[in-house]
Amino acid sequence: MAETAGDRLVETLIDWGIEVIFGLPGDGINGVMEAIRKRQDRIRFIQVRHEESAAFACVGYAKFTGKMAACLATSGPGGIHLLNGLYDAKLDSQPVLAITGSTYHDLIGTFYQQDVDLNTLFKDVAVYSERVMGPEHVENVAELACRSALAYRGVGHINIPTDIQDQECGERSRKNVPGHVSLVGARSAGLPAEAELRRAAELLNAGRKIVILAGQGALGARQELEMAAERLKAVIVKPLLGKACVPDTSPYTTGGAGLLGTAPSEDALAECDTLLMVGTSFPYIDHLPKPGQARGVQIDIDPRRIGLRYPVEVGLVGDSKVTLQHLLPLLEEHSDRSFLEKAQQRMKEWWALLEHRATTGEVPMKPQAVAHFLDPLLAGDAIVITDSGTITTWWARHLKARGTQMYSCSGTLATMACGLPYAIGAQVAYPGRQVVAFVGDGGFSMLMADFATLVKYKLPVKVVVIKNNVLGQIKWEQMVFLGNPEFGVELQPIDFARFAEACGGRGFHVEHPNDLPATLRAFLAADGPALLEAVVDPFEPPMPPKVTFEQARKMAESLARGEPNRGRIALTLFRDRIEDLEVTAPGPIGRIAETVASAVGGAGGSRSRSSRGNGARRRGGPPHTA
C-alpha cells in the first residue's frame, strides 16, 4: 500500500521518539488517525474527553519525564480547545507537539465549515507553527516542529489539511532533495565561560547571609544545591515549580517563596545580603530582596531571563546542574552558620505552627487537615500534582517533598483545570508509580469528564477533591486585595464521589477529621482510579506567610461593606489566626480585629471540636470500606 501524508507524519513522530499522542478524533484528522491505528504497536493513542485535557496531559508528561508527547485535535474548534494547555507549556517552558487538522486545502479562506486559520492563531503560543502544503512537505515540517519544540522547550505546531492527509506521497519539487534532513538532536554544553564562573564565585564568597533561590530549572540538581548551601552556609528558598529540587526536610531549605510560601523564607529573603538564583524566573518581585539590598548571581539556560527579576551582577548562562558542578570548586567554605541556623530554628517553629493548624480537630474540617494526613501515606516516589486556587497553598505548605517524589502544577499561567490531565500524562508515563492529583472542586469540575479517561485506560490515579463549594482564591482576592465583599464565587455543589462511581471508578467521602486517616488509607489502597471527596470549611483563608497591615485593612473593609459571611469569616480569621501568625503591624491589626469583631458580633456559623467521627463513607457501603 502506498505511503500517505498521514503515514509519513506519524513515522516522523516515531523517529523523533514520540511514544504517546493524547487527543480526540474528528473528521479534520481522520487521515492521521488511520496512520496511528496502523502503528498501535509503536505509538500509543490516548483518547481524552476534551482537547484542552490533551494539551495539559502533554505538559504533565513533559514535566515529569523531560520527553515530548503530542496532542492531536481536529480543525476549527478542536484546535482552539488546545490553546490553554499549550500556553501552559509555553509559559512553563515544556516541549509539546501539537497537530491540528484543517479544512480541504483548496477551500481554505473561503468561509467553509470549520475554516479557522489555526496556523496564524498558534503563532504566539508556538516556537514553530506551519501548515503542510502537500505530502512531500510533511517530513520537513514535522522534523523541524519536533526539533524546535525540544531545542527551545516550547510548542511545535503542525497544521495539515484533511484531504492532504490521505494523499499518497509522490514526486518532490526539484529543490526538495530526499534524505537531506537528519534526526540527530543537538544540545549545548550548557556551561558558562570560566571568567564568568570566577566572577560569580568571588561575589558569593564575599557574602555572609546568602539565599539560593532554586526553581524549576534546578530540578535534578539536588546534590549540587545542598553542597553549595553547605559550603556557603546558605538558605535554599524554593519557588513553586522548584518544590522538589531539594526535600522539604532538607536542613538547608525554608520551603516555598511568595504568598504560597513560608514565613522563614520571607525572613531569609528580607535579611539576605547575597542572592543566588538557580533556574528560576520567579515573577513576584515584591517578595525578592529590595534592589541594592543584596548582590546577585543568576544561573539560567535562557539568556533572556538573566536580570529579568533582580539586578544581578553576574549572569551564568547554562544548565543549572552542570554550572553548579563547575562553580562548586571555586566556592570557599564559610564558617559562620548563624544565618542558616536562624532559618533552621524558624522552620522548626513554622512546621509546629502548620501541624497545629492541621490538627485542631475542628468541624467543619480544615483543608490543611486533608493534606497533613495524606502526606505520610504518599509513596517515596509518588508524583503529586495540584491545580490552581487555594488548593495550591495547602499542597505547597502541607505536603512535604521527600525521596524521589515529583511535584508540579501550572506555574506561570496558573490556570485552573490542569490537575487531572497532568495526572493522566504522569500515569501514562509511569504506570508503576503512585500518582495523586490534589485538586479543588472548582478546577476539577472544569475537566472532570476525563475521570472517565482514567477508567477507560485503567490508570490508577488517585484524585483528592477538596470541596468547599466556592472559588476560594477569587473570593479571598476580592476581599484581601480589593476590600470588596465576595461576589459570584459560590459553586453549586456536586456529589463527586457518586460521579466517580458513575464513571466506573471508586468514590469516597469524608467530612470529619477523625475519619481522615482510615479513609485516606482505604482510598489510596483502592484498585484502579479512585476519587476522595473531602468536605472542608469554606471560610478557611489561605493566609499569606506574613500578613501586612494593608491586607488586614482591606479585609476589614470588605467585612464592613456587607460581606455576606462576615460573622463566620471574622471568627475564623481574626480570633484564631491573629494569635498564631507573626504580622508586620501587630498593634494596628489587633485594633482592626477588635473593630471588626465588634461590628459583626458573633453572627455566622459555629465550629466544633468533636471526638466523634461520622462523616466518612464510601458511597454505597459502610464507612472506610475499600
Q: pLDDT digit string (tens) for 519-536? A: 999 999 999 999 999 999
The count of domains in the chain is: 4
Lowest mean pLDDT among 222-226, 245-249, 441-445, 578-582: 578-582
For the chain, how big is the Rg over CA atoms in Å?
Answer: 26
Region 46-57 average pLDDT: 98
How many whole angstroms separate alpha carbon 2 and alpha carbon 171?
13
262, 200 Cβ separation under 8 angstroms: no
Query: Measuring CA to CA, which residue among 69, 65, 62, 4 is closest to residue 37?
Result: 4
Considering the domain architecture, whether residues 342 and 250 belong to the same structural domain is answered as yes
Single-letter amino acid code for the residue at 157: H
Q: Within 10 Å of residue 598's Cβ, how many Cβ atoms?
A: 9
Residue where a domain stops, chosen among 319, 348, 377: 348
Q: What is the pLDDT of residue 594?
A: 52
Q: What percentage of the chain reaches a pLDDT higher than 90? A: 79
Q: Render pLDDT for 582-610 as a digit per residue (tens, 0 to 9).
A: 433 444 444 445 544 554 544 444 455 54
Mean pLDDT of 306-316: 97
Report yes or no: 328 and 320 within 8 Å, Cβ to Cβ. Answer: no
Q: Which of 53, 48, 49 is nearest to 415 (CA)?
A: 53
Query: Which residue shows C-alpha cell 514535566?
Result: 63
CA nearest to 468, candidates 542, 361, 518, 382: 542
What is the CATH classification number for the domain harbouring 333?
3.40.50.1220
> Are 31 and 68 part of one and the same domain?
yes
Q: Which residues contact 203 (CB under 8 A, 6 or more apart)?
A: 274, 295, 297, 313, 314
334-356 tens-digit pLDDT: 999 999 999 999 999 999 999 99
Angstrom distance (rounded) from CA 139 to CA 129: 14
Q: According to the model, what pLDDT value does residue 480 have? A: 81
Residues 28-43, mean pLDDT to the nearest whole number: 98
Mean pLDDT of 18-46: 98
Q: Is 519 part of any domain?
A: yes
Q: What share of the chain is helix, strand, coil (3-state, %, to 5)?
A: 45, 15, 40
pLDDT of residue 396 exceeding 60, the answer is yes
pLDDT band at 551 (very low <50, low <70, confident <90, very high): confident
Average pLDDT of the segment spanning 255-259: 96
Confidence class of residue 618 from pLDDT cuts 50, 70 and 90?
very low
For residue 185, the tally of other CB atoms under 10 A from its CB is: 11
For the stretch 446-483, pLDDT in tens is: 999 999 999 999 999 999 999 999 998 888 888 887 88
Residues 208, 321 within the same domain:
yes
Residue 174 lies in a domain: no
Together in a domain, 226 and 321: yes
Helix ranges restricted to H, 415-525: 419-429, 441-446, 451-456, 472-480, 496-502, 516-525
Per-residue confidence at 620, pLDDT binned at 50, 70, 90? very low
How confident is the model over 191-214, as pLDDT tens digits?
A: 899 999 999 999 999 999 999 999
The pLDDT confidence band at residue 424, using thresholds 50, 70 and 90, is very high
The model carries a pTM of 0.91
* Residue 353 covered by a domain: no
How confident is the model at residue 542, as a pLDDT?
A: 87
Choose the weakest-confidence range: 286-290, 369-373, 394-398, 560-564: 560-564
Does residue 355 lie within any of the structural domains?
no
CA distances in angstroms from 514 to 358, 517, 518, 571, 614, listed in the order given: 12, 7, 9, 23, 9
**Identity of residue 457:** Y
Single out the residue in 165, 183, 217 at which a domain terminates: 165
| Same domain (yes/no): 61, 144 | yes
All cell numbers assigned to 523? 482510598
Strand order in the sheet with 462-467: 406-408, 383-386, 435-440, 462-467, 530-535, 506-510, 617-618
Contact 619, 501 (CB under 8 A): yes
The answer to whether residue 434 is domain-embedded is yes
- CA dihedral 237→242→243→246, nearest 10 degrees, is -70
Average pLDDT value for residue range 421-428 = 98
User: Measured between alpha carbons, how far is 30 from 98 in angstroms, rounded to an integer?
Assistant: 16
Pair (549, 436) in one structural domain: no
- Both 427 and 545 in one domain: the answer is no
- Confidence label for 579 from pLDDT (cuts 50, 70 and 90): very low
229 and 333, same domain (yes or no): yes
Residue 8 and residue 167 in contact, taking contact as beta carbons nearer than 8 Å: no
DSSP string, 320-360: HHHHHHHHGGGPPPP---HHHHHHHHHHHHHHHHHHHHHTS
Cα–Cα nearest to 211, from 333, 317, 343, 319: 343
Q: Report d(CA 151, CA 366) in Å as an integer.
A: 44
The C-alpha cell of 539 is what? 471560610
Q: Is residue 491 part of a domain?
A: yes
User: Last residue of some domain: 317, 348, 379?
Assistant: 348
Mean pLDDT score across all residues of the chain:
90
Share above pLDDT 70 across residues of the chain, in percent, rounded to a whole number? 89
Residues 156 and 131 in one domain: yes
At residue 175, the pLDDT reads: 78
Angle separating helix axes 320-327 and 222-232, nearest 10 degrees: 40
Give residue-wise pLDDT tens across range 79-101.
999 999 999 999 999 999 999 99
**Per-residue cell: 123:** 503563532
- Find out whether 275 and 234 touch, Cβ atoms under 8 Å: no
For 103-115, b/e burial (b = at least 16 CB within 10 A) is bbbeebeeeeebb
Q: What is the pLDDT of residues 142-178, one digit of tens each?
A: 999 999 999 999 999 999 999 999 999 988 877 787 8
Specify whether the CB–CB gap between 178 and 138 falls below 8 A.
no
Q: The CATH number of the domain where 17 resides is what?
A: 3.40.50.970
Residue 238, classed as helix, strand or coil, is strand
Residues 610 and 209: their CA atoms lie apart, in Å, by: 46
User: What per-residue confidence (pLDDT) applies to 439?
Assistant: 98
| Shared-domain flag, residues 447 and 580 | no
Q: Domain limits at 243?
A: 194-348
Distance CA 96, CA 107 (A): 29
514 & 416 share domain: yes
Q: Give domain status of residue 92, yes or no.
A: yes
179 lies in some domain:
no
Q: Identify the helix (H) or strand (E) that includes residue 362.
A: strand 362-363
Average pLDDT on 502-510 reads 98
| Helix runs in 181-272, H state only | 194-206, 222-232, 263-271
Does 259 share its domain with 160? no
Q: Which residue has the higher pLDDT, 588 or 252?
A: 252
| Residue of 138, 194, 150 whose CA lies nearest to 58 | 150
Mutual orientation of helices 30-37 and 5-15 as an angle, nearest 10°? 60
158's grid cell? 503542525
Cell numbers for 600, please give them: 459583626
List the grid coordinates of 109.
479562506
pLDDT band at 556 (very low <50, low <70, confident <90, very high): confident
| pLDDT (0 to 100) of residue 598 | 52
If phi over 0 gives left and psi between -120 and 50 gives alpha, with beta otherwise, what is residue 220? Answer: left
